[in-house]
């Protein structure tokens, strides 16, 4: 996205303030020219995400980009909203979070996702980062929801799902939060949908799709 905007709009410098997961969509702050010097300032802004979770499954990437495996289906089927709410308490405030193997974090001069794609991540110690979560709200909770996702080998799956709204600081991996919740609840969990809805006062509602940015530039 950065390269497309730079080349199409003829800015001298283009950067961004916070990578989005390949699975994710939503708000990405694009910085141009002089504003690129303020990257750390924009990176530190509070972010908000909506994530949909399927319990009873796990994957190496903690989402649907790698093969999904059933795990703890019996426990997942009996999961309650109250149990999920209780599990969320330990993640409030400043915590140490282990980064996912499929991430852009550098280890030994190489991004972790390069190790993961080469099947080297199983023996590589994943680093921890201090992050801060300000609020987690359960927006929906359903037992026996039918999901249809082409990434999941079964044509249809029926599982317990939840949608969470997460307000957090920089460096937070929502996929790691999903992974850790699954472990705490004893049934595994994967993110099936993730959107960054807000970065401070910048919201998905007042954002511009890349195609519109490029089109507006061509018009001008």
Distance CA 201, CA 44 (A): 13
Distance CA 197, CA 207 (A): 10
**What are 37-45's contacts with CB under 8 Å, separation 24+?**
39/15, 42/17, 42/18, 42/199, 43/17, 43/18, 43/170, 44/169, 44/170, 45/17, 45/170, 45/199, 45/200
* Residue owning tokens 């600081």: 169
Q: Domain residue spans in the chain?
A: 2-219
Would you state the pLDDT for residue 147? Answer: 84
Residue 63: pLDDT band by 50, 70, 90 thresholds? very high
* Residue owning tokens 């991540």: 121
Of the listed ranges 32-36, 84-88, 94-98, the least confidently predicted one is 32-36
Torsion angle, alpha carbons of 142, 63, 154, 160, to 10: -10
The pLDDT tens digits of the residues spanning 22-61 come to 788 999 998 989 989 999 999 999 999 999 999 999 999 9
What is the chain's mean pLDDT, rounded? 87
Strand spans (E) along the chain = 14-16, 25-26, 30-32, 47-55, 57-58, 69-70, 93-98, 106-107, 110-111, 128-147, 157-168, 189-199, 202-203
Distance CA 144, CA 159 (A): 5
Mean pLDDT in residue range 8-33:
85
Would you state the pLDDT for residue 25? Answer: 93
Q: Hey, what are 25's tokens?
A: 């969509």
Distance CA 111, CA 123 (A): 15
Q: Hey, what are 86's tokens?
A: 């209780």
Residue 217: pLDDT band by 50, 70, 90 thresholds? low
The pLDDT tens digits of the residues spanning 128-177 come to 999 999 999 999 999 999 887 655 555 567 899 999 999 999 999 999 99
- Which CATH superfamily does the domain covering 2-219 fall into? Pseudouridine synthase (3.30.2350.10)
Would you state the pLDDT for residue 62? Answer: 94
> Measured between alpha carbons, how far apart are the two ends of the chain, in Å?
20
Length of the chain counted residue by residue: 220
Q: Hey, what are 117's tokens?
A: 């794609």
Q: CA 86: distance to chain centroid?
A: 22
- Of 6-20, 29-43, 105-119, 177-191, highest mean pLDDT: 177-191
Given the residues 21, 60, 108, 180, the one annotated as active site:
21
Would you state the pLDDT for residue 32? Answer: 87
- The verdict on whether 82 is a catalytic residue reads no
* Residue owning tokens 């390269």: 3
Distance CA 1, CA 96 (A): 31
> Which is higher by pLDDT, 21 or 123?
21
If DSSP codes are grouped into helix, strand and coil, which group holds residue 153?
coil
Is residue 121 pLDDT above 60, yes or no?
no
């Amino acid at each position: 996205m950065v390269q497309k905007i730079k080349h199409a709009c003829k800015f001298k410098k283009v950067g961004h303030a916070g990578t989005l997961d390949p699975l994710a969509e939503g708000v990405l702050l694009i910085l141009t020219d002089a504003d690129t010097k303020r990257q750390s300032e924009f990176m530190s802004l509070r972010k908000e995400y909506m994530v949909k979770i399927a319990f009873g499954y796990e994957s190496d990437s903690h989402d649907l980009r790698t093969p999904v495996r059933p795990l703890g289906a019996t426990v997942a089927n009996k999961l309650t909203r109250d149990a999920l709410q209780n599990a969320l308490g330990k993640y409030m405030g400043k915590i140490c979070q282990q980064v996912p193997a499929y991430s852009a974090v550098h280890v030994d001069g190489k991004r972790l996702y390069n190790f993961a794609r080469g099947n080297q991540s199983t023996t590589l110690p994943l680093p921890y980062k201090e992050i801060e979560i300000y609020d987690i709200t359960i927006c929906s909770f359903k037992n026996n929801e039918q999901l249809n996702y082409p990434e999941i080998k079964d044509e249809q799956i029926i599982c317990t799902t939840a949608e969470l709204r997460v307000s957090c600081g920089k460096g937070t991996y929502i996929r790691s939060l999903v992974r850790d919740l699954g472990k705490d609840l004893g049934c595994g969990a994967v993110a099936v949908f993730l959107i960054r809805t807000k970065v401070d006062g910048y919201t998905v509602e007042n954002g511009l799709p890349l195609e519109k940015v490029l089109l507006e530039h061509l018009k001008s």
